[in-house]
A and B are shown apart, each in its own frame.
Chain A
Amino acid sequence: MISLLGGIFLGWSLGANDAANVFGSAVSSKMVKFWTAAVLAASFVLIGALMEGQAGIETLQGLTRFTYHQAVIASIAAAFTVTIMTLIGLPVSTSQAVVGAILGVGILNRQLNIAGLGKVLICWVGTPFGGIIIGIIVYKLLAAIANRMNLNLFQADLMLRLCLIAAGSYGAYALGANNVANVTAVFVGAGMLDVFSATLIGGMSIGLGILTFSRKVMETVGKKLVTLDPFSALVVILAEAITVHIYALVGVPVSTSQVVIGAVLGVGIIKGVNTIQRRTLVNIFLTWVITPLVASIFALSLDFATHLRYIPGH
């Protein structure tokens, strides 16, 4: 169990941070109570992980061979990367940190599944674009339905709140399905866990992060989404959920924050307003490059450090 701590920590921090992308706007605007959102999110993350988390785990564990030792190193290196980059205020993605750490292990093993890595890289670049495209489609579809329904103020309000809860739950399901691989895939690769245990432990650790530490992030990050009008916030959450779910089916863990940025950009395109600053786009690009690089350097350094031997007399 102790050897799984790196992964569990990753799952916990993922839950604490990423739940804001699915329930943040509803909680920060007090449309849904924090505990209702947290329990729904934690439950659906676990369900998503158990139902559809397998594909991502297969992709990540297939990137290289893992020994027991290397799996632990990869998870600790990824956890270190996420913590340190968050502390110094750099943009970070758990998915990219985990792949970076696996890359480090692959370099040590001199064995990397290039095709698998290519698939992951293409999906990363495609993440914000997926958010944009699905954001536009979801906006058009929901707008057509909403205008056709011709609801009064109270009905529209009620419908919006129900949809936010439903979209948030679906987003949590997609988050669990997509991101559980980040937490425990390396342990499956090393033969320490079977897929079911990996999805169960991964899903539970993400859920734990949501229940114990997501409140503040939900309240602060969620406010950024609330500055959009409520309908656009719903579109962003639903587009994020659909995009992340698609990547879960493809089997590549992606950054939910980058999907959200893409979806916000998509809504902005439809409304003819500039919703994203250039700095945010630069940050995404930096995350693609810096996070895997830092994580692989950490993995290599940790491996090197654990192989140092004290030889008396020299």
Chain B
Amino acid sequence: MFEFLFKKEQKVQELIFTYLDNLKMTQDHFEKAMDCLFDFGLGENCDFLITQTHKFESRADDTRYEIIEMMYSKVLIPESRGDILKLLESIDVIPNHFETLLFMIQGQKLRVPDFITPDLRQLMKVSLECCDLVIKQVEALFKKTEDIKALVFTIDSHESRCDHIEREIVRKIFDSELDPFQKLQLKELVIHMGEISDQADRVSRSIYIFSIKRRV
């Protein structure tokens, strides 16, 4: 009824959802870029998709800075302000991982050997599912659409699965006859990819804490 009194808060809410849209776009382009790399290796198409991923990551960053700027103009009560800033900072690590991974492959001209491609695809798929669930969880925090606690459990089980796949890929890499330098390069790639679900799990737990903190 009195929402017209709180225009800045409404603007922050809109910006958070814009940020989530950009995050989703970054994620979608990352997925396409990775699929392209798995299927055809580095090339013009992949470069274009990497640039697009970077573009949406930058857009997400711009939106995040806009939110931070609004927050410093004393929007919301201090506790909510602090929670939202922490949350955004934590979520923002995820698109940074997407970008780092693609730049790593592009810059180091990495070739993914066929014997780990299915596992890497699987790791990427489960990690990105974690990201989708995190987006859902953020929406649940701001819109009360879903049970936050249930999502924490799902993300946690996905993260455990990612850890398992990650260990399996690293084992396969070091069991192979690849050049030791390439083994280390691939290990770094796998570990970075595993970081996506780890970070999603961290964000998910913070969201849960923010939500239970508000229960009295």
Q: Judge if A30 is at the interface, Cβ distance under 8 Å.
A: yes
Closest to B78 in A: A29
Q: Judge if A143 is at the interface, Cβ distance under 8 Å.
A: yes
Q: Is the CB of A231 within 8 A of B216?
A: yes
Q: Which residues of chain B are near A229, meaning CB under 8 Å?
A: 79
Q: Is the CB of B77 within 8 A of A147?
A: no
Q: Is the CB of A151 within 8 A of B144?
A: yes
Q: Judge if B142 is at the interface, Cβ distance under 8 Å.
A: yes
Bound-complex Cα distance A161 to B144 (A): 19
Question: A-facing mask of B3-38, CB < 8 A → 1, else 0?
Answer: 100100100010000000000000000000000000
Report the contact-size class of chain A (Cβ under 8 Å from the partner): 20 to 34
Q: Is the CB of B215 within 8 A of A147?
A: yes
Kindly identify which residue among B2, B3, B214 contacts A153, using a CB–CB cutoff of 8 Å.
B214
Bound-complex Cα distance A162 to B79 (A): 16
Contacts A142-B216, A143-B216 given; does A230 touch B144 at CB 8 Å:
no
Kindly identify which residue among B2, B76, B143, B216 contacts A157, using a CB–CB cutoff of 8 Å.
B76
Q: Which residues of chain A are near B79, meaning CB under 8 Å?
A: 229-230
Bound-complex Cα distance A300 to B76 (A): 53
Q: Which has the most chain B C-beta neighbours within 10 Å: A30, A139, A147, A158?
A: A158
Q: Judge if B210 is at the interface, Cβ distance under 8 Å.
A: yes
Q: Is the CB of A29 within 8 A of B77?
A: yes
Bound-complex Cα distance A152 to B144 (A): 5
- Among A138-181, those with CB < 8 Å from B are 139, 142-143, 146-147, 150-154, 156-158, 160-162
Bound-complex Cα distance A144 to B216 (A): 8
Q: Is the CB of A230 within 8 A of B142?
A: no
B-contacting residues of A (Cβ < 8 Å)?
29-31, 139, 142-143, 146-147, 150-154, 156-158, 160-162, 226, 229-231
Beyond known contacts A30-B78, A142-B216: 14 more, CB 8 A cutoff: A29-B77, A29-B78, A30-B74, A31-B78, A143-B216, A152-B142, A153-B80, A153-B141, A153-B214, A154-B76, A154-B142, A157-B9, A158-B9, A230-B79
